[in-house]
Every structure is written in structure tokens, then in C-alpha cells.
């Protein structure tokens, strides 16, 4: 199968996957674009348009089979692939990923974490060993890693990214304040910026206040 799907649709797919999981968990077998739209705050036609990008799935008068749709989307996003991840920086955010993020669910095995802190190096968190960052290249020589999550201070991130790329790590999941381009040399990058969503929330609050209090 060949998919050529726009970036915007790709960015919407994880959200579809989440809602379809909820539907599956609630025992739903099929769903119409209207029902799914109501659940997700989208119009039925937006949903049909998105789904048409990768061949439809739906049947006139039936709607979508929840499980099939969910599986097809997971396949498009590559969840079925077995991938390995590491976490660089075992501070609070790194620990949050190590302890709470469901890597398995998204097709990843978390194999190691790296840090510089003597109190962390040599320990295990939720069965994930923490190695000294000096051992990064040695580790990457012996172990294939698909994605490195960057949960280290921004100041040190650039150097680490260069090392990861030089060692052939293809995926960077960046939580630092730096922003790397989506295609960064041979690597692919996703930047997660907490501040962006807080600012969007601030904007929504400002608009709400305007509506309620009249023009400020």
C-alpha cells in the first residue's frame, strides 16, 4: 500500500487513534462519521475528508468498523513496527517518561537512559538502566536505537543531538527549549514545547474574558 498523506492529516491521526481506542474500550463495533465527529468536535465532512486521504475505510450506510479503522491508522503511523527508544536526561521529566509513558503501546521498547549525575548513573528506574552519557557512543554501537527522547537541559542539547546523529540515531523526540528542524540532516525530529500549549490556553482565556466582560 502506498500512502501519501498531508502533514496536517498525519498530525490529526494520533487524535483519531485515541478516540477510536476509547470507542473500542466502550465496546463500540461501528461508528458513523457523524458520531465520531460529535465525540471529537469535528464535522462529519471533515472526518470523511481525512479518511478519504488514505482510501476511505467506510461503507455507505454502515459507517466505520471501529477496530479496523483503529488498526489501519495504527499501521499508517507505524505503531506495529518494533522500535527501540532511549531517554537522555533522567531528571524529573526523564523520570516521568521512564516511569509513566506507555512506550510499548506505541511500538517502542525503552532500553536505556543516560545522565551525567552520579546519583543517577548505575541505577535503574522502572527497570530502565541509567548509564553515563560518556557511554552513549559505545551503547549506540552495540544497540540499535530508533528514537532518543531529549529530556536534558537545553544548553547541552545541541551537542548531544550531534552525537546522536553521528551515531546513526534516526529519531529525536525533543523536549528541550531548543527547536530542531523536522528534518535535521539524516534525522527526523519532533519538538514538544509545553509553553506553546500554555500560550494557546492563555489566548483562549483572554478571549473568554473578552466575551464575558465586553471589550476590555
Which residues form the interface with a second copy (CB under 8 A)?
A: 2, 10-11, 13-15, 17-19, 41, 76-79, 81, 83, 91-93, 95-97, 99-102, 105-108, 146-147, 170-173, 179, 181-182, 188-206, 208, 215
Question: What is the smallest separation between the CB atom of 118 and a second copy, expressed in angstroms?
Answer: 19
Question: What is the smallest separation between the CB atom of 183 and a second copy, expressed in angstroms?
Answer: 8
Spatial separation of the C-alpha atoms in residues 128 and 97, rounded to whole Å: 11
Residue with cell 537512559: 113
Question: What is the smallest separation between the CB atom of 47 and a second copy, expressed in angstroms?
Answer: 16
Nearer to a second copy, 122 or 203 (CB): 203
Question: What is the smallest separation between the CB atom of 88 and a second copy, expressed in angstroms?
Answer: 15
Name the residue among 136, 141, 14, 105 with its Cα closest to residue 150.
Answer: 136
Do the Cβ atoms of 125 and 188 come closer than 8 Å?
no
Q: Would the CA dihedral through 196, 197, 199, 204 be positive or negative?
A: positive
Nearer to a second copy, 121 or 169 (CB): 169
Nearer to a second copy, 124 or 135 (CB): 124
Nearer to a second copy, 107 or 129 (CB): 107
Residue with cell 496536517: 8
Question: What is the smallest separation between the CB atom of 66 and a second copy, expressed in angstroms?
Answer: 17
Nearer to a second copy, 45 or 59 (CB): 45
DSSP for 164-215 reads HHHTT--EEEE-SS----SEETTEEEEE--HHHHHHHHHHHHHHHHHHHH--
Question: What is the smallest separation between the CB atom of 165 and a second copy, expressed in angstroms?
Answer: 13
Nearer to a second copy, 59 or 126 (CB): 126
Burial letters 170-207, b for 16+ CB under 10 A, else e: ebbbbbbeeebeeeeeebebebeeeeeeeeeeeeeeee
Amino acid at each position: 500500500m502506498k500512502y501519501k498523506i498531508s502533514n496536517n492529516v498525519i498530525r490529526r491521526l494520533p487524535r483519531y487513534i485515541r478516540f477510536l481506542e476509547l470507542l473500542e474500550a466502550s465496546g463500540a463495533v461501528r461508528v458513523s462519521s457523524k458520531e465520531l465527529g460529535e465525540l471529537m468536535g469535528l464535522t462529519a465532512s471533515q472526518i470523511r475528508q481525512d479518511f478519504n486521504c488514505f482510501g476511505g475505510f467506510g461503507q455507505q450506510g454502515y459507517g466505520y468498523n471501529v477496530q479496523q479503522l483503529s488498526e489501519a491508522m495504527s499501521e499508517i503511523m507505524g505503531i506495529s513496527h518494533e522500535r527501540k527508544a532511549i531517554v537522555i536526561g533522567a531528571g524529573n521529566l526523564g523520570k516521568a517518561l521512564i516511569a509513566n509513558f506507555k512506550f510499548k503501546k506505541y511500538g517502542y521498547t525503552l532500553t536505556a537512559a543516560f545522565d551525567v549525575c552520579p546519583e543517577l548513573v548505575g541505577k535503574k528506574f522502572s527497570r530502565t538502566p541509567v548509564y553515563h552519557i560518556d557511554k552513549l557512543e559505545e551503547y549506540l554501537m552495540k544497540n540499535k536505537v530508533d528514537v532518543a527522547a531529549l529530556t536534558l537541559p537545553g544548553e547541552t542539547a545541541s551537542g548531544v543531538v550531534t552525537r546522536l546523529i553521528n551515531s546513526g540515531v534516526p529519531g529525536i523526540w525533543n523536549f528541550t527549549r531548543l527547536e530542531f528542524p523536522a528534518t535535521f540532516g539524516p534525522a527526523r525530529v519532533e519538538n514538544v514545547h509545553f509553553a506553546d500549549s500554555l500560550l494557546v490556553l492563555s489566548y483562549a482565556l483572554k478571549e473568554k474574558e473578552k466575551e464575558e466582560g465586553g471589550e476590555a
